[in-house]
Structure 1
């Protein structure tokens, strides 16, 4: 974390009836004074089926 910004990598895996979908972004977020996320970024290229 640097000031009001943070970046981290994570993976979400969802099992659907006919496939498994993974989203694995490097998330970049900005926080307000109450530590609430005010902006977050990821790309459709982070999704695999």
Structure 2
């Protein structure tokens, strides 16, 4: 689930850079994507 969110945010960030959408605010998507990735790496594959 978190990998999907990471990939979607990363793709949106790349599209935002290509089409120059939202100016500097587009980098917030990259920051959020990195946070999701870090959370995923720290939690590992725990299943509840």
Q: TM-score range by the shorter chain?
A: under 0.3
Q: Which has the higher helix share?
A: 2
User: TM (normalized to structure 1)?
Assistant: 0.22
More strand by share: 1
- TM-score norm. by structure 2 comes to 0.22
